[in-house]
Structure 1
Amino acid sequence: MLDDIWVDESVFALRPDFAVLLVTTHGLRNGPSDDRSRAWLADASACSAQPEKIEAWRDAYRAFGAKPSRTRPSVDALSRRLPLPEINQVVDAYNSISVKHALPIGGEDLDHYSGPARLIRAVGDEESEEALGRPEPGEVIWRDDTGVTCRRWNWRQGARTRLTEETVNALFILERLEPMTMEELKTAGEELGDLLSELSPEVRVHTRLLSGGR
């Protein structure tokens, strides 16, 4: 699965500085938020704001015609919800890393995927859940063989592949634009892996980096 994920060249043409760190985990044990995951959220909520990173995502949204004041990049929306909301242990883990590094992160249930994930610019006729709406031509979307899994790059995820307390195998999508460095992207991935391993000591973690320079 990890080796089959791809990013279309049109996305790199839109933002040559884009890179995505893909993290797959097998053998997760998830559960309701607890004192440990609440502490992660509290620590992240206390981190200093990093507006320059969030502004880079707003610029990326404008580049494909979206209005970031109406449909906000995920990390922008999340950073406005302080203190961070409790969802479940695994989602709390990646939300805390997202806010700490001002880095959009998505979590997907691999067992609900149909074919590999890919990041493309929409044609406009892609199948999409009613709650998500149909993507507009040129919009950046994540999708699989069934249809859209996340609209407007990282704005809103579909319910079909959402992480739940029953999730065992997952894909985490860590999306980087400058001024975030590649080293910080790598560090964020390692920190996420550490938190997931703390939740599930026997979890198997694999990573893959995709960028315009390969």
Structure 2
Amino acid sequence: MDTILNSAHISPSIFSLRPDYRALLMIAENIPTGPSDESSSRLLNEAESHIKSLLSSQGIPITEFPHIFAWRETYKGFGAKPQKTRNSLEALTRRAAEGGLPRINRLTDIYNAISVKHQVPIGGEDLDKYDGAPFLVRANGEEEFRTFSAGEAKIESAVPGEPIWCDDVGITCRRWNWRQGPRTALSDESTRVLFILDALEPLGDDELVRAADELADALKGLSGDVKTLYQIIRAGN
């Protein structure tokens, strides 16, 4: 666990784009396998209720939720149109408010619920399908992203300048937190996971850590054997 976290790195070009960016990387091991269940569905229901309550009490559209607004502005900064390529937090928050959050598998359900509740983009990667340590860079346009479209395998090229999370094989997530690749996606059988929590101002470190702690607690609630470790990467470290 230490080796992967200590080897993770973020390109200075990312901090040139957003000096306030922080990535909390968490590794969780010994997670019991399983599909969506009552406990993960309950977390999703709670997240949906939380968003509906926020919309009712704050009286502002989802696009003006502080952290979502910050990510929309950041997407514009590297040339993406936030109306067409929504960051994962906005996409999930919209689903929570409208048709309801999807039930995918227990692990994905858990981190999606916590993402929405704490308003933090979160990604999950299966470490048994991962190669090396994670790193975040801005694409040069030659990187390939292997995905699926309408059930068919498809290869896309990253757009020059877009931030991409990678391992030693290639891209694992495009546009910071827009689209994760299927190669390292979580499944019902995933037991070792890398979680990536993305933060921009105005979201503070205290809320970022609260989200990580709740994620760790939810995973440890599945089994006493679950172990977690995290670190925060920011400009200058």
Structures share fold, TM-score greater than 0.5? yes
Per the alignment, residue 108 of structure 1 pairs with 125
Per the alignment, residue 85 of structure 2 pairs with 71
> Counterparts of 2:236 and 2:134 in 1: how far apart (Å)?
20
Q: What is the TM-score normalised by the length of structure 1?
A: 0.96
Per the alignment, residue 204 of structure 1 pairs with 227
After TM superposition, list the pairs within 5 Å mapping 1:135-174 onto structure 2: 135-174=158-197
Asked if the contact 1:57/1:177 (under 8 Å) is kept, the reply is: yes
> Counterparts of 1:7 and 1:31 in 2: how far apart (Å)?
32
User: Quick one: which amino acid aligns to residue 106 of structure 1?
Assistant: G
Corresponding position: 1:41 with 2:44: yes
Per the alignment, residue 134 of structure 2 pairs with 117
Corresponding position: 1:58 with 2:81: no
Corresponding position: 1:187 with 2:201: no
> Counterparts of 1:80 and 1:127 in 2: how far apart (Å)?
29
> Counterparts of 1:99 and 1:30 in 2: how far apart (Å)?
23
Quote the offset at 1:201 in angstroms.
Answer: 2.0
Per the alignment, residue 90 of structure 1 pairs with 107
Give the stretch that moved more between structures: 24-33 or 9-18.
24-33
Q: Which has the higher helix share?
A: 2
Show structure 1 runs of 5+ residues with no match.
none
Deviations 1:76-127 (A, max 9, x none): 0111112211111111110011000111000000111122110000011113
User: Quick one: which amino acid aligns to residue 52 of structure 1?
Assistant: P
Quote the offset at 1:34 in angstroms.
Answer: 1.1
Per the alignment, residue 18 of structure 1 pairs with 21
> Counterparts of 2:222 and 2:141 in 1: how far apart (Å)?
39
Show structure 2 runs of 5+ residues with no match.
56-61, 149-154
Asked if the contact 1:127/1:146 (under 8 Å) is kept, the reply is: no
Deviations 1:137-186 (A, max 9, x none): 11101011111110011000000000001111110000001111111001
User: Quick one: which amino acid aligns to residue 193 of structure 1?
Assistant: A
**For this pair of structures, how many residues does the alignment match?**
214
> Counterparts of 2:147 and 2:221 in 1: how far apart (Å)?
36
Quote the offset at 1:31 in angstroms.
Answer: 1.0
User: Quick one: which amino acid aligns to residue 66 of structure 2?
Assistant: E
Runs of 4+ in 1 over 3 A off after TM superposition: none
Quote the offset at 1:130 in angstroms.
Answer: 4.5
> Counterparts of 1:200 and 1:16 in 2: how far apart (Å)?
38
User: Quick one: which amino acid aligns to residue 44 of structure 2?
Assistant: L
Decide which structure has the larger Cα Rg and report it: 2
Asked if the contact 1:30/1:199 (under 8 Å) is kept, the reply is: no
Per the alignment, residue 28 of structure 1 pairs with 31
> Counterparts of 2:220 and 2:185 in 1: how far apart (Å)?
20
> Counterparts of 2:123 and 2:117 in 1: how far apart (Å)?
15
